[in-house]
Chains A and B, each alone.
Chain A
Amino acid sequence: MSSIPSESFAERFRVGIRIKVLILKTATEERLMYRGDFAFATLIRFLPIVTQLFLWRAIYGNNLTTNLNGYSFAGMVSYYLLVMLSRAFSSMPGLANGIAMSVRDGSIKKYLLQPIDLLDYLLWQRIAHKLVYYAVATGPFALVFWLCREYLPVWPGWEVMTAWVLSLLMGFAIGFLIESLIGLVSFWFLEVSSLIFIYMMMSYFLSGHMIPLEWIEEWIPWVNYLPFKYLAYFPAAVLLGKVPADTLWIELSIEFAWIVVLFITARVAFRHGVRRYGAFGG
């Protein structure tokens, strides 16, 4: 009755795009249902930025021009603000937990029963969440940047700008894939909240969210070989001109390679996880 005859690639592509757009639209509509909570949460997230800036101000004390491991106070403020911008792309609140919860309570069944792909679906849902977030957060972000304008560097050239935009987009992909993978672990261990906690702690430190990675490199030289730096440090470093021009595109290629590796790992984990799945919960 409803079997589909063999379709051309173009037709499949067209239908695929239509589904993605509709997921995007539906998820956006859903997101906008909780407008009060959402607006509040977005604004609250700006408070730590302000306190962190005051903290750095206190650390530098009266010597704002002091160079701490390559960062003056102005350099630190721009680094921190740009890191927050990176995180606006790479942070995935509730993604791993959401997957784990849907495995626990059985609502993941929906994705297994319908002819859709879980990771694809979650990706488009997440893009919708991000778009709604940017719509609300752009104003406050612009305000903070404007207030700190005297600390910010001059605009870099188009090549660096392009690299920066690419690094932000790929940062989104890496954040999405790592958190999805953690969520998929729940096929093996039903409870992953400790794992999420460890990941949060590690990424806070190893992504350069807490302090610039140059400060950590001394004790942890291998920090540069991990994918975490792409979540916060790397895009900021690109825009601040800390990545030398001759290695910029090599670094971006390595980031892309990480995406490929994480994507394949997530696919394999999903395939094996589903086979282990007990479909509990009715």
Chain B
Amino acid sequence: MPAIVVENLIRTYQVYRKREGLWASLRGLLHRDYKEVHAVNDVSFTIDEGEMVAFLGPNGAGKTTTLKLLSGLIVPTSGHASVLGHTPWEREDAYRRRFSLVTGQKEQLWWDLPAQESFRLHKEIYRVSNEDYKSRITELSEMLEVTDLLGQPVRELSLGQRMRMELIAALLHRPDVLFLDEPTIGLDVISQRRVQQFLRYYQKEQGITVILTSHYMKDVEALCERAVVINKGNVIHDGALSEIVDRFSQHKIIDLHLGPEEVAEGIERFGTILDSKFPIVRIQIQKQDVSAVLTQLLSEYTIEDISVAERPLEDVIAELFSADDDESSPDPNSPSQPV
């Protein structure tokens, strides 16, 4: 059963275009030029209950705006969305008790008080029973390894510890839907991994519906099977994460282990050499040339070992968005595939 249904969602902002300099600022007092920015442009997708989906896209693509729409913070210019049967921007309490939005910023905790004070307030606001509250706090704080810090003022916590406290605050009332906007931004590797492991475990355990945006492909690969790729407010891909590489990458990587007598000369004519430390050579070649290149390599060089791999998701995504920035091919703006 779908938990989230989004149909033709559009959100347009009027943005004041200020030209450079003092003169322009003075003129801006009298007359202002506004530009319409389509932060979200006709976005549609459906997410089933218990699914964990990644939103991918460069900065300003519309991921966060979509999450803001779904959490009822902003009202769309047009379009329709339903989360758990509610229209988010009507902001009914019945809906607000059933979801949480976690962003990388300080959001829910009282800065000067220990986190447990904020949790107590959440307990009342979200109407969590005493027993449930106690067991939740114990369970979540143990899983996130912050039990000792519950009594310490939030401002004295490190970013990673604070983020984990934010997660506890967000999950205290057992939301059915969780929106995670860059939950690991700015965290060190260990905190990042801990949050990641926690989210994976928690989502499986509770079967909640999660939308995650992240710039760390490690997060995304560890947590999500499905990805919605958004760029310039449009959905350009909606499907399995693994399909992204297949669909958008024009290249493959070949790792060669040359024989001891071999010389790595002339290999560059097959593609771009990414790394070359004799006897290992790594080259990137056009996807459609794989079999031809392999045949040629094997016939011309003494090779001890050879392997063909996909490019890392991170590189493909980076290329996809930078290619779009220079408006060069390949065209990622092809119509999105129905799933």
Contact = CB atoms under 8 A, between A and B. Distances in A.
Interface of A: 1-4, 15, 18-19, 22-23, 26, 29-30, 33-34, 106-107, 109-110, 112-116, 274-275, 277-279, 281-282
Nearest to B93: A115
A33 B112 contact: yes
A109 B110 CA distance: 14
A277 B112 contact: no
Contact of B73 (A3, A26, A279): A279
Given A115-B126, A277-B73, A29 B117 contact: yes
A30 B153 CA distance: 10
Contacts of A109: 73, 101, 107
Contacts of B121: 19, 22-23, 26
Contacts of A274: 91
Majority SS at the chain B contact face: loop
B98 interface: yes
5 contacts: A2-B176, A26-B110, A33-B113, A113-B73, A113-B96
A30 to B, nearest CB: 5
Interface of B: 13, 64, 68, 71-75, 91, 93-94, 96-98, 100-101, 103-108, 110, 112-113, 117-118, 120-122, 124-127, 153, 173-176, 181
B171 to A, nearest CB: 11
Contacts of A33: 112-113, 153
In order of increasing CB-CB distance, the 4 nearest A-B pairs are: A115-B93, A115-B96, A279-B73, A33-B112
Contact of B174 (A2, A23, A29, A279): A2
Contact of A2 (B104, B110, B117, B126): B126
A115 B71 contact: no
B13 A114 contact: no
B64 A282 contact: yes
Contacts of B96: 113-115
A113 B103 contact: no
A7 B126 CA distance: 14
Contacts of B73: 109, 112-113, 277, 279
A115 B97 contact: yes
A148 to B, nearest CB: 37
Given A2-B175, A33-B112, 13 more contacts: A1-B98, A2-B126, A15-B127, A22-B120, A29-B117, A30-B112, A30-B113, A106-B105, A107-B106, A109-B73, A110-B107, A113-B101, A278-B74
A1 B174 contact: yes
